[in-house]
Structure 1
Amino acid sequence: MPLFSHFRKKVGLDESSGEECKDASAGDLSHVGTAAYDVLRKHHNHYHHELWNVTKGKVCELQYTPRDFFDRHDRSDPPDGHDDWLPKRMEANIARTEEWCDILTLAQPDGLFLEAFKNGIKTICEKELILNRKITIRIMFGNVLGMPVNCTRVIDDLTADLPADACNKINLWVGSWRKGVSWNHAKIIAVDGKCLWTGGHNCWDRHYLKSNPTNDLSIEMEGNVARDAHRYANAQWGYITKKQNTAWGRFVDRRIPDSMDVPRTARVTVSAFPEATAAEFPPFYTALKHKKLPSSAKQRGPSSRTVDPGFVPVITMGRYGVVLKNARPSDDAFVAMFNSAQTIIRCALQDVGPPCIPTTKMTLPGTVWPEKYLNAMAHAMWTRGVDVEIVLSNPMSIPDGLAMKDACYGIGWSCVDVAAELIKCIQKQFPDAPHNKLRETVQDNLRVCFVRCRRGGCNYSDGGTLGLHSKHFIIDDVCCYIGSQNLYSCDLAEWGVVIDSPEAVADIKKDYWDKLWEVSYTRDDCDVDEVMDGLGIDRAAMSKLSMTKYELQQAKDAMKANIQEYYEADDDESDASEGEEDEAEKKNESSK
């Protein structure tokens, strides 16, 4: 059933028919896009226009940091102010808002990013209102365990320098949520259903703008693709509304400060501006209210003759983590895309494997290798001779001297480990695969390396290594993904865009991937003999009961270092209490 269907009925959100759905815009998709579309329409039809959609979009700009990563030499640093342009670009996007702005990111912005948010909102408040309608701004964060978001303080920071009449110009909501091991991890700026920014960048100065910056990738687009981002945000706001309206939610809202964490599986917070007049919760975005936006008929469908040639097929896709019991639409779409590959799969990723215990080859308890994706890649390599190229973050890359628990890009596996796990997936699917043929596959079809700068170096001047945070892959050079979703196992709320156009993908490949691969790839990272020797290593997670006290402490330290993506509860707390709450709400509603 769709996301918390009982609540959706109360707020008037439509339900799906339950049958396989068809999208009128799917006629121009490539074999890769069609594979994703088929699995989405057959297995996730209920979430059409909510967690996935086929639409059109125009690529305006590919945005990667640091800008000089492909021509800077080893043991050198980017200049001061090297990527200050990024928060300024975000500010410009926010400032374009005339009616509605949605912002989603992992955690509250700081430094120049905070200033960009403030300046963008201030510019909005200086505009003349359209038809006297106040402008809606919704800002959503993840509520990571150990990193609670003080929504009231964020509101105060964002509105401190607004003009006196700002309360007559905007309604602003700031919210955050967590449920179990899930929270928002999507990075989105969507404006008026027309303009979109999305990708991998978080809004933190010391990760991107200072010393030892992390390599990351985002994209700016125009068109109806932005509407899908607004719709994706709706359900996260719906979850906050639902949980805040429970007895426990009301108690926490009135009695516990936003900045204090609570010992519960779920945690939601929300604050509004102006406090005296804004509703407690924001409205839901619906494109029908925005009649001045261009008709979708001019941007959708294979038979359109008035289409701007810059608009190309796009599949938007995402997931809500454990907010949905089983459905993970984008996961299934990724598998289908890898399975459809005929020639080559190229990936720029932070990691493939799960967190491992430092200095060991042991996976942290409770985490797993992403076998669905690895099996699909392995099957493509073995049965069709598909090439797989992967660029990974150097292990334990830390920007600007931060503590490991605050920033650590690269979980610890080597390129040989990743390659060996891929080949082991071939062995599992084809137990009789001859050893010499497996070796040929590693030699001829599999290339894995760490991110580097020109002339093969992987260090900044202080010896710190280059980190990579991109979530990007290209399949057969006709279709690519850019968004927030990693391939390693992590059950967060994610969103991104699949651009399905050979011409648009060729430009993206030229601007980012080709430069990255040219400076990064070397055979030294993935020696064939080491990969074959590594097939016998068990990299699966150990049971806590079989670990020594020292190994358990290492595991806890590693978990803290990756707390932005994972956490491990001290007790075996589950979502059962939330399910009981939901049932109680239904019974109370029925009795009324």
Structure 2
Amino acid sequence: MPLTVAHLHATLKSRLPQFSDRLFGQAGDTFVGGWEEYLFDTPHGWWTTSNHEFPDRGHSSQPARAMKACIEKATHSIDIVTMDEPTGDFRKNVEDGLIALAMSGRPVTVRFLLGRQAGGPNLHTWMMLKQLADRIRQAEPRASRLNVYLAQFRWESASWNHAKLIAIDGGVLITGGHNMWDSHYLARNPVFDISMRFDGGIARGGHRFADALWNFVRANNRRPLAGATYSNHLNPDLEIDESAPPPRSESFEAVAADASPAADASNRFPALWVASPGWGVYTDPRVLEGAMMIALVEGLKQAKQSCKMSLQDLGSPHMSAVDFKTWRPRDYPFDLIGCGGSWFILPLIDNFAEFLHRNASATLEIILSAPTDGAHGYGHGVKLQTILNLLSQRMNAQFQTSKNDALKILNERVFLKTIAFSDGREAWRDGAKKDNHAKFWILDDKICHVGSDNCYPYVQGIGQAALQEFGVIGEFPPSVTDMVMEGYYNHASRHGVRTDAKLADLTW
């Protein structure tokens, strides 16, 4: 079968027939413009800068500024879905966009949903809205028609939203890996990450994903009173109550179909929006499998030339020997395999091995966080030698590949790297290692994913979580592929530090 978005869409419809337009959907009119307005990487444009020249601030304001620029142009509907409370310049830019809407007098409804990680205190959504109301009041709008709903969302202690998206008027979508955390992205020792803007009908997927989360909020708003899911509402008169938004009208979908900018038809491309259900939200019927991983595994089956990835990690956080021996996965959507104290998604590792076995000249490149001592702790302690060892094990298990043959494949066609800069240093000036939080992959330089869904299982200590996720898979035309590769990925590849395989690392 050809490697196309249409084929991946057909695969998802076959695997998840009851979840078309609920966990995934296709749009044929997707558009991506120029680098500055559509490609948001952090730290932006600094790949060729040596460590000693890198500033503590002012290096990565582009994602936050892009959010404001899109928000302030809305005409009727905005969904903002992210994890935890926005801070610093992220929060200021989002609020500045909302204040501009209040000043415009346009009747816009904003649904702002915050996933709250287990273990932390509840977020002060009422206070966040009060602070926004104070800023709007100071701006003295003539006749605001802005409604803002703000909610914290979590199911029990095991599932919360991890997606990061802004969907506007069914025609503009920003999504990727960026949390709205100033200290992680805009300050000293920034996290490496990527998000993108997509225009066209693909944005309706962001609204539909948000619909499912808000359905959960409506059903569980303050139940019990001290629970982890609750909503507040700021009305045009700047009064705050405890309501959740009513179900969204589907009528705006037809209005929004022509919302994307005019462009040459050759610059448009088919795309999929893909979501992961987590636990507790998609219960009618219940589903566990995530659309992104299904599509990635199927894409690897069809790819012939290359798989290039920029990821936070491939394995779960490293466990102690006792925990690793006793822990067993529960209710997880994919089979897992353990190696070196961490857990991995078995169908992904197996299809890496099958991809390399089937295509004698194909290459696999993965750029990861430093395993330990990262500036913000994104690495999981998974040694790159462990990943190489596991990959060789699965080559042998599936295709009886010998150790020597596996070693040859690993050193000639597999490139595992950690983030560095032009001087080759993996650490910042203070010695902290560089963190990667991207969830980016591209197959055969054509089928590309940008989103929030990681390629490792969520195992924390001996506990486990399943999160709600969102992303876009596009069948990029050459112009978009060139922008993404030259503006982001090739820099990461060129400056990454590779780990080679040694025969002694293959312990099976």
Q: TM-score range by the shorter chain?
A: 0.7 to 0.9
**Partner amino acid, structure 2, of 1:495:** F
**Partner amino acid, structure 1, of 2:493:** W
CA contact (8 A) 1:66 1:83 kept: yes
CA deviation string 1:434-489 (max 9, x = no partner): 23221221122211011111131112111111111110001011111000011011
Number of positions where the alignment pairs a residue of Structure 1 with one of Structure 2: 470
Q: Does 1:154 align with 2:128?
A: yes
What residue number does 2:152 align with? 176
Among candidates 78, 99, 114, match of residue 141 of structure 1: 114
Per-residue deviation at 1:250?
4.1
Change (3 A) 1:363 1:64: farther
Per-residue deviation at 1:193?
0.9
Change (3 A) 1:285 1:396: farther
What residue number does 1:354 align with? 316
1:231 partner SS: helix
Question: How far apart in 1 are the matches of 2:247 and 2:440?
Answer: 30
Give matches, 1:120-135, under 5 Å.
120-129=97-106, 134-135=107-108
2:441 partner SS: strand
Question: How far apart in 2 are the matches of 1:169 and 1:118?
Answer: 15
2:187 partner SS: coil
Question: How far apart in 2 are the matches of 1:57 and 1:32?
Answer: 15
Q: TM-score normalised to the size of structure 1?
A: 0.74
CA contact (8 A) 1:353 1:488 kept: yes
What residue number does 2:266 align with? 309
Question: How far apart in 1 are the matches of 2:492 and 2:75?
Answer: 37
Per-residue deviation at 1:117?
1.8
CA contact (8 A) 1:354 1:364 kept: no
Question: How far apart in 2 are the matches of 1:326 and 1:218?
Answer: 27
Per-residue deviation at 1:161?
0.9
What residue number does 1:59 align with? 32
CA contact (8 A) 2:44 2:62 kept: no
Give matches, 1:335-484, under 5 Å.
335-357=297-319, 365=327, 368-385=343-360, 386-399=362-375, 407-430=376-399, 432-484=400-452
Question: How far apart in 2 are the matches of 1:42 and 1:286?
Answer: 28
Question: How far apart in 1 are the matches of 2:308 and 2:325?
Answer: 25
Question: How far apart in 2 are the matches of 1:166 and 1:415?
Answer: 59
Change (3 A) 1:337 1:125: same
What residue number does 1:71 align with? 48
**Partner amino acid, structure 2, of 1:437:** D
CA contact (8 A) 1:74 1:456 kept: no
1:179 partner SS: coil
CA deviation string 1:263-293 (max 9, x = no partner): xxxx311111128687822133345235543
Q: Does 1:239 align with 2:222?
A: no
2:135 partner SS: coil
CA contact (8 A) 1:357 1:364 kept: no
What residue number does 2:338 align with? none
Question: How far apart in 1 are the matches of 2:4 and 2:171?
Answer: 26
Change (3 A) 1:35 1:196: same
Question: How far apart in 2 are the matches of 1:340 and 1:363?
Answer: 36
CA contact (8 A) 1:499 1:505 kept: no
Question: How far apart in 1 are the matches of 2:211 and 2:473?
Answer: 21
What percentage of aligned pairs have identical amino acids? 22
Question: How far apart in 1 are the matches of 2:60 and 2:322?
Answer: 35
1:346 partner SS: strand
Per-residue deviation at 1:54?
1.2
Gaps of 5+ in 2: 330-342, 459-465
Among candidates 83, 94, 99, match of residue 60 of structure 2: 83
Q: TM-score normalised to the size of structure 2?
A: 0.86
Give matches, 1:481-496, under 5 Å.
481-490=449-458, 491-496=466-471
**Partner amino acid, structure 1, of 2:213:** Q
1:104 partner SS: strand
Change (3 A) 1:209 1:90: same
Per-residue deviation at 1:69?
3.6
What residue number does 2:489 align with? 513
Per-residue deviation at 1:52?
0.8
**Partner amino acid, structure 2, of 1:311:** R
Change (3 A) 1:454 1:433: same
CA contact (8 A) 1:53 1:315 kept: yes
Give matches, 1:270-309, under 5 Å.
270-274=231-235, 280-289=243-252, 291-295=254-258, 308-309=265-266
Question: How far apart in 1 are the matches of 2:320 and 2:180?
Answer: 28
What residue number does 1:14 align with? none
What residue number does 1:185 align with? 162
What residue number does 1:36 align with? 8
Change (3 A) 1:73 1:366: farther
Question: How far apart in 1 are the matches of 2:320 and 2:496?
Answer: 24
Question: How far apart in 2 are the matches of 1:505 and 1:495?
Answer: 21
CA deviation string 1:318-342 (max 9, x = no partner): 1121134434222212211122211
Larger % of helix: which? 1
1:508 partner SS: helix
Change (3 A) 1:125 1:139: same
RMSD of aligned residue pairs (Cα, Å):
2.7
Larger % of strand: which? 2
Question: How far apart in 2 are the matches of 1:358 and 1:218?
Answer: 34
Mark the structure with the bigger radius of gyration: 1
CA contact (8 A) 2:78 2:167 kept: yes
Per-residue deviation at 1:227?
1.1
Change (3 A) 1:498 1:251: closer
Among candidates 256, 276, 295, match of residue 333 of structure 1: 295
Change (3 A) 1:396 1:156: farther
